[in-house]
Structure 1
Amino acid sequence: MNATPSDQRTTGTFAYDDLLPRVPLPTLAASCERFLEWSAPLLTPAERAATAAAVTAFQGSDGPGPVLHAALERYEATEGVRSWLDDFWDSRYLGRRDRIALNANYIFLFADNAAARAAEQPQVERAAGLIAAAVDYKLRLDDERIEPVRQRGQVLSMAQNTYLFSTTRIPGAVQDTVRTPYSEAWPGPSPARHIVVFHRGNIIRLDVVGPDGQPYTLDDLTAGLTAALKAAPTRAPADAAVGQLTTKARAAWAQSRERLSALDPANAAALDTIETALFCLCLEEATPADNLAACDQLLHGDAGNRWFDKAVSLIVFPDGRAGINVEHCGLDGTTILSFVDDLLSTSPQEHSASSGAQPQGLPAVEPVEFVLDADLRADIAEAGASFTDFAAATASTVLSFDDIGQQQAKALRTSPDAFVQLAYQLAHVRAKGHVGATYESIATRQWRRGRTEAMRVVTPQIHQFVAAMQDPAADPATKRAAFRAAADAHVRRAKDCQAGRAPEQHLWELQFIARRQGAELGVREPIALYDSPGWVKTRDDFLSTSSAPSVNVEFFGFGSTSSQCIGVAYVLLPDRFNLYLSTPRAVAGGLYAFAEQLALALRELQDLLADEPPAQ
């Protein structure tokens, strides 16, 4: 009999993980059919015909599809494989060769903390509180005392929590790797007792757990951070702030890291200190002027004061405001939200007491220093200058609505997510003149090792809704009917994604298999499907969207994903709605027009639905 979460052990953070149902592997026919259906609204008749022909050839008896799918079925049946997506995530995240700074890492700006701002030393005291909370969480995680997250009664996978501490992405020439505990190379929780503090481009090792395993108290941590600041009295020169190397494209950073390690044994030791640290703490020099500046600083701020490969970097500004920068390869937003909620929902004093912190005096504070030659100095300086230019080539803005939220949408009898997604579509058409490919991340942690699914938002009903809203002759009843039909279609598609009935990741993994094993399988690239208009246009985002619902998060942010894309990171709470928008600066006009039209579209839809006659 198959074990279910209800009939097995019910204690421990990871107690349910191997009991959760496996992510369903769709049939090849089902994914091909859905791919044609999902891509069709973005294509001309000629493009639909060309895409259909490519799909027919792909899944035919003599096409590459059946061979690749059979290989995937064999992989899924292999002992130790938890999901047919196990290799997919490595290929998708670790295989990317561009920068991860700004392009892949994401950020949360924590909800404002008035107590932190009023503290005598806002930055140091807030940082000490965050350290104490994170160490408490880490020790509870080690003992598996973190309760598994549940959603509507359903236990969710906690596997990603193993990547929260002492995890670092390591650049590779062809594909990156991850140095992490809970792995074959490093079994069990991390025994590390230190973090690394970045200040003015300097790196300082700070012990946060004493030699006997007892955490330091808040007073001890405050003293340690004060000592760390004194250890960095001046800013590191532009050619010595080694963290800037983590902004490079991955293969180039791999070469730099190899040169760095080979130059002197001290460098290998310094890298080991950074890579095994529980997390990074970045103490900033400048207080952002507003929320936009804070989000920008969190996402792509002082590159010399970051190690973008580190899974978790807590960032604290001089006024006590704080946030987090997350390396995405092992950690999705839902896991980080649970972590942040735990950190911020309880006072630092309670976290410190929970962890068993004991007064131990000043923690060990030690500068982390690299030996650099002229070539490496030039490399570091160039990396920093290049990233400064890259960040400057990104435009962003924030929007805040304090009278729109989940409660408002539900009062209008609609799904909150459908409400805002339809507003995005209407705003995009009015700003740019057309419907564009739109991605939405859908969480799937109810499955074993589940992460996210790629939802493609544009449906035929979206086109009909936008047309009705743009038609001056359409009456309110017609517009409302079009809205309801599009919202219902959106909810159905989201449920399909949650249930594992989505085509993109399946077909994408088949493409990865062709690249990894094509020669031995007798499959040669290029494969027409992956050059078809449907595949190219569906994945060439005009809007890339994702949400982060938490009262402890004020803004969520990430970069855009293509040359014309607007990244739409949104925090939709019961009583408010905040967004961070980003796009390449070359097309910034489209972003600002979208932001303006979005504010109008949200009001217009509110009024439209509020005037709906009561149901008979």
Structure 2
Amino acid sequence: MAEAHQAVAFQFTVTPDGIDLQLGRDALRHLYLSGLVACRKRLIRLKSSVLSGVYPASPSTWFAVVAVTLGSLYGKLDPSLGLITKISNFLPGKSAISPVSRTVLSAVIFSSGVWISGILVYRQTLRILLSYHGWMFESRGKTSLKTKAWAGCMKIMSKRQPMLYSFQMSLPKLPVPPLDDTIERYLQSVEALLDEEKFNRMKTLAEEFKKDLGRKLQKYLHVKSWWSSNYVSDWWEEYIYLRGRGPIMVNSNYYAMDFLYVTPTSKQAARAGNAIHSMLLYRRKLERGLIPPVMALDIVPMCSYQMERMFNTTRIPGVETDRLQHLVESRHVCVYHKGRYYRLCLYEDGNLLSPRALQVQIQRILDDPSPPQPGEEKLAALTAGDRVSWAKARVNFFSHGVNRVSLSCVERGIFFVTLDQEEGGHREDDKDSLSLYAKSLLHGNCYNRWFDKSFSLVVYKNGKLGLNAEHSWADAPIIGHLWEFMLATDSFELGYTEKGDCHGDPGLDLPPPYRLMWDIPPMCREVIDQSYLTAKTLADDVDFYCTRFMDFGKGLIKKCRSSPDAFFQIALQLAHYREKGHFCLTYEASMTRLFREGRTETVRSCTKQSCDFVKAMEDPNETKENRLALYRAAADHHQLMYRLAMTGKGIDRHLFCLYIVSKYLGTDSPFLQQVLSEPWRLSTSQTPQQQLKMFDMEQFPDHVSAGGGFGPVADDGYGVSYIFAGENLITLHISSKFSSPETNSHRFGQRICQSMRDLAQLLTDPLRR
């Protein structure tokens, strides 16, 4: 066993003269290799930081500048116009250094100053260029001369291959929007949702806030924006995520699915081996900065800050607030199977285990017949239940002894792996298979995912994969980047043998994965059972419907000269109106990664324009021409709102931060209280795909992603996630609660599908004529 293997290398004996410590050669070898790997990683990180910090320059350009300067001096030319001589006069130790050496040293100092100045000028120039967002508001095919000139400059500025963090210091800060603009656009967003009396009352509250308290709070936000990298992100992370005391399962965590149609192997251990190996290859690239930054139009960099905490990160519970624990280094994953926990080492002699070796190790876990220890099976229910109960239990039962060691092993892992005993994925003969797959990934059985880890990799019995991600450390596109890399690497680079095994040699006879030991007393088991009951009640209440819409996809929508996202959001409003007979506040997630440390912003996609269109669609007396005109107006306005959100002119994060400042000052604002208390009964998000173009979707149409989803935000509302998977497929993930008599996920999903068909018919009629 692994325990015995470790014990022979490290022995000590207590004697009357003290402790006789004996270290075996194997232990010394492992200590040496561990230190060597740590030093090597520090050097790699240092190199990556230096190369990213001096981009677009490099150490070779520094040598070139120094060489040119020295060559000019040798040719009796002084490119410094006398500055080198002045530097020489200020250098100490005139008697110890020869005149020639002083001149050379002065030339090196001058050259270094020129080199650094060039980098700073480049950064400032790039920051100015990146602050221009006019390109986003121009119609396709109608590019202005200003935007063309800007694009040309951007291509020149980013011509040299950038590293992941090369542009971080050049990204502009998120601006604080003008208070008047935010309030005006807020009132516009709710005008169609409120009756005349309520709207006039809200307008009065807004005017009172704008005249007095709003100006004061705005000044505080400006001060914060001057000294912080991003005036929103730290407060958003703390108050929206980490201070939440309710369960994060369903309410916060989200999931991602495997390929919709393809399962490369049906062997659970083999698929897990390739998946884990692929993710570690990604981590290696991430640590070395070798992943290119995501670029809009292939020239505009997105912020990469959120990727730093992708691995080795765990959310640690607290009584009042949680915290994120991020480790610089970790070399193992924790694996859960049949109620048992294992520590799986991923490196041997400093080298990453091959996929085949990982398959062998995982198969050992699958073949282990030992039962769970008392209280071990449902232990992870603590991470699924109430945060306060988990925080207290962690202090009372997991702060000493074997429990502390084992919990540390789980929390310090690179990520968490669950080997499920059930099958997952889409099956053509089972219309409910996708919905069951989604529910399984969202909450499992409430104790077979460690919901506090940055993400848990789920490997099903039939070889299907999935992922459950904690939300506080980053947003879905970040984990989606890793997920795309893993799926493509697994299928197209690593591959499998004809028998479905991983390629490669199993290697040496490694010690088996280490079984974690627990000593869970009866009082702790009671807390675990209570957390499980809380989580089970929440999970059983989730009504999930996941379906494929195959009538058409973004290909047809684009032919109709419409944005696919605007098309879907308007169809969503039409479906909701048909179901409820009224409109509701709608949340659509947008990103602000054009700015440093940007995360998300809200697009309020229920607008006056979309409401006017929906009413026209439901009015049998309206003409098709008028409906089409109203649709175009609604789609154009939606696109405008989305672009404003992306370019730092959104309203909801601004209002949120104003509210936080008011709380810090101990001042109540009726206006802000009303704004922040409004429920989002429709919470929506589009899943990005093909962030990494590692394979051709047209050549491999079966390798479409099934996307991912999340739980409902409001008790009487819907959570809707959607992905335009290829040109002819839209996958919907719809969640609500069984406990609400006003919602039904299957019914609402069918209404959305019918609304999309009705919109397509409206938009394609003019094409036929």
TM-score (norm 2): 0.73
2:762 alignment partner, SS class: helix
Q: Which residue identity is paired with 2:357?
A: D
1:134 aligns with 2:300: no
How much does 1:29 deviate?
2.2
Paired with 1:586 and 1:459, the residues of 2 have a C-alpha distance of 29
Which residue of structure 2 lines up, in the alignment, with residue 433 of structure 1? 581
CA deviations on 1:200-254 (whole Å, 9 max, x unpaired) are 22211101122x3210011210111012223464456667521110012222221
1:149 aligns with 2:294: yes
Q: Which residue identity is paired with 2:363?
A: T
Q: Which residue identity is paired with 1:308?
A: F
* 2:375 and 2:520 in contact (8 A); partners too: no
Paired with 1:112 and 1:234, the residues of 2 have a C-alpha distance of 34
Paired with 2:350 and 2:221, the residues of 1 have a C-alpha distance of 45
Pick aligned residue for 1:72 from 221, 225, 229: 221
Summarize the Cα distance change of 1:399–1:352 in structure 2 as closer, same or farther, 3 Å threshold: closer
Which residue of structure 1 lines up, in the alignment, with residue 724 of structure 2? 572
How much does 1:30 deviate?
2.1
Pick aligned residue for 2:714 from 544, 562, 582: 562
How much does 1:363 deviate?
5.6
Paired with 2:490 and 2:520, the residues of 1 have a C-alpha distance of 42
Summarize the Cα distance change of 1:559–1:579 in structure 2 as closer, same or farther, 3 Å threshold: same
1:242 alignment partner, SS class: coil
* 2:173 and 2:229 in contact (8 A); partners too: no
1:220 aligns with 2:342: no
Q: Which residue identity is paired with 1:152?
A: L
Which residue of structure 2 lines up, in the alignment, with residue 310 of structure 1? 453
Summarize the Cα distance change of 1:114–1:585 in structure 2 as closer, same or farther, 3 Å threshold: same
* % identical aligned pairs: 28
Paired with 2:704 and 2:331, the residues of 1 have a C-alpha distance of 27
1:445 alignment partner, SS class: coil
Paired with 1:613 and 1:230, the residues of 2 have a C-alpha distance of 61
Pick aligned residue for 1:168 from 314, 331, 334: 314
Q: Which residue identity is paired with 2:397?
A: L
1:528 aligns with 2:670: yes
Deviates more, 1:591-600 or 1:307-316: 591-600
Paired with 1:236 and 1:321, the residues of 2 have a C-alpha distance of 28
How much does 1:419 deviate?
0.7
Paired with 2:718 and 2:374, the residues of 1 have a C-alpha distance of 35
Q: Which residue identity is paired with 1:255?
A: K
* 1:514 and 1:524 in contact (8 A); partners too: yes
* 2:356 and 2:505 in contact (8 A); partners too: no
Paired with 1:461 and 1:234, the residues of 2 have a C-alpha distance of 61
Deviates more, 1:361-370 or 1:564-573: 361-370
Q: Which residue identity is paired with 2:416?
A: C
Summarize the Cα distance change of 1:400–1:112 in structure 2 as closer, same or farther, 3 Å threshold: closer
* 1:200 and 1:236 in contact (8 A); partners too: no
Paired with 2:495 and 2:594, the residues of 1 have a C-alpha distance of 32
Pick aligned residue for 2:680 from 532, 541, 545: 541
Pick aligned residue for 2:750 from 587, 596, 616: 596
Pick aligned residue for 2:477 from 334, 342, 350: 334
2:351 alignment partner, SS class: coil
How much does 1:102 deviate?
0.7
Paired with 1:287 and 1:512, the residues of 2 have a C-alpha distance of 45
Deviates more, 1:455-464 or 1:44-53: 44-53
Which residue of structure 2 lines up, in the alignment, with residue 244 of structure 1? 381
Paired with 1:363 and 1:143, the residues of 2 have a C-alpha distance of 30
In structure 1, list runs of 5 or more residues that go unmatched.
Answer: 182-189
2:163 alignment partner, SS class: coil
Summarize the Cα distance change of 1:82–1:602 in structure 2 as closer, same or farther, 3 Å threshold: closer
Which residue of structure 2 lines up, in the alignment, with residue 274 of structure 1? 410
2:603 alignment partner, SS class: strand
Which residue of structure 1 lines up, in the alignment, with residue 94 of structure 2? none
1:391 aligns with 2:539: yes
Which residue of structure 2 lines up, in the alignment, with residue 300 of structure 1? 443
Matching of residues 360-375 of structure 1 within 5 Å: 360-362=508-510, 365-375=513-523
CA deviations on 1:577-601 (whole Å, 9 max, x unpaired) are 0011110112364433322221211
CA deviations on 1:22-79 (whole Å, 9 max, x unpaired) are 1121122222222222222211111112212222222223x2x22322222222222x
Q: Which residue identity is paired with 1:12?
A: M
Q: Which residue identity is paired with 1:178?
A: L
2:721 alignment partner, SS class: strand
Q: Which residue identity is paired with 1:162?
A: E
Q: Which residue identity is paired with 2:587?
A: Y
How much does 1:348 deviate?
6.3
Paired with 1:447 and 1:357, the residues of 2 have a C-alpha distance of 46
Q: Which residue identity is paired with 1:570?
A: Y
How much does 1:94 deviate?
1.1
* 1:168 and 1:275 in contact (8 A); partners too: yes
Which residue of structure 1 lines up, in the alignment, with residue 734 of structure 2? 581
Greater radius of gyration (CA): 2
Bigger relative contact order (CA 8 A; separation at least 6):
1
Pick aligned residue for 2:419 from 283, 286, 291: 283
* 1:200 and 1:232 in contact (8 A); partners too: no
Which residue of structure 1 lines up, in the alignment, with residue 37 of structure 2? none
Q: RMSD over aligned Cα, in angstroms?
A: 2.4
Q: Which residue identity is paired with 1:412?
A: C
TM-score (norm 1): 0.91
* 1:123 and 1:316 in contact (8 A); partners too: yes
Matching of residues 23-102 of structure 1 within 5 Å: 23-61=174-212, 63=213, 65-78=214-227, 81-102=229-250
Which residue of structure 2 lines up, in the alignment, with residue 185 of structure 1? none
Q: Give the number of aligned pairs.
A: 589
* 2:588 and 2:683 in contact (8 A); partners too: yes
Which residue of structure 2 lines up, in the alignment, with residue 457 of structure 1? 605
1:513 aligns with 2:661: yes
2:247 alignment partner, SS class: coil
* 2:376 and 2:518 in contact (8 A); partners too: no
Matching of residues 495-510 of structure 1 within 5 Å: 495-510=643-658
Paired with 1:478 and 1:432, the residues of 2 have a C-alpha distance of 24
How much does 1:261 deviate?
2.4
Which residue of structure 1 lines up, in the alignment, with residue 14 of structure 2? none
CA deviations on 1:114-137 (whole Å, 9 max, x unpaired) are 4534x4xx1111111100100111
Paired with 1:394 and 1:30, the residues of 2 have a C-alpha distance of 39
Q: Which residue identity is paired with 1:607?
A: Q
* 1:166 and 1:276 in contact (8 A); partners too: yes
CA deviations on 1:460-502 (whole Å, 9 max, x unpaired) are 1111111100001112112211211111111111111111111
Summarize the Cα distance change of 1:408–1:360 in structure 2 as closer, same or farther, 3 Å threshold: farther
Pick aligned residue for 1:265 from 401, 408, 415: 401
1:331 alignment partner, SS class: coil
CA deviations on 1:534-592 (whole Å, 9 max, x unpaired) are 5533xx12211001132652131100001111100111132210011110112364433
Summarize the Cα distance change of 1:283–1:73 in structure 2 as closer, same or farther, 3 Å threshold: same
* 2:357 and 2:506 in contact (8 A); partners too: no
2:321 alignment partner, SS class: coil
